[in-house]
């Protein structure tokens, strides 16, 4: 049982660190990220909406916040639900944009979030359980 708790914590923290590093890379090279988004939106057929295109440049900042909260252990269950929604949308969007490789990578991230959500009972090393919610802020 103790090994599973530490394994869950290690996977949660490593996944969060990856999200933070990936989003930081996208923010540093933000113009390249925006060019890739334009290419993806030019190839989409189903997800070609201006509202989605308006919010697409915010994805690196969303990934950063999700990763930071996963590393720190704040609101882990809610963050994982948000990450699952983000990765499922990105999977379908990239599949629509004919980017199969990136779609499969985001599908893998989606499954990681599902496993972390399902095994939430091992999440004893986060701040969600060691403090009350009003003391975290």
Domain ranges of the chain: 2-129
Give the pLDDT confidence score for residue 9 in this predicted structure: 87
CA–centroid distance for 51 within its chain: 20
Q: Over the stretch 47-79, which tens digit does the pLDDT of each residue have? A: 878 888 888 899 999 999 999 999 998 888 899
Q: Find the DSSP H helices in 1-137.
A: 2-28, 30-43, 50-55, 59-72, 76-96, 100-118, 127-130, 133-136
Sequence length of the chain is: 137
**Entry pTM:** 0.83
Give the pLDDT confidence score for residue 49 in this predicted structure: 84
pLDDT at 129 over 70: no
């Amino acid at each position: 049982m103790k090994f599973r708790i530490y394994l869950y914590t290690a996977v949660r923290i490593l996944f969060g660190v990856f999200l933070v590093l990936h989003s930081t890379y996208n923010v540093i090279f933000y113009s390249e990220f925006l060019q890739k988004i334009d290419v993806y939106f030019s190839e989409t057929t189903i997800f070609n909406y201006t509202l989605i295109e308006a919010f697409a440049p915010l994805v690196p900042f969303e990934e950063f916040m999700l990763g930071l909260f996963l590393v720190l252990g704040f609101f882990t269950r809610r963050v994982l639900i948000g990450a699952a929604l983000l990765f499922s949308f990105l999977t379908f969007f990239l599949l629509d944009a004919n980017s199969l490789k990136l779609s499969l990578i985001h599908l893998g991230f989606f499954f990681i979030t599902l496993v972390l959500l399902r095994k939430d009972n091992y999440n004893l090393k986060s701040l969600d359980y060691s403090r009350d919610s009003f003391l975290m802020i």
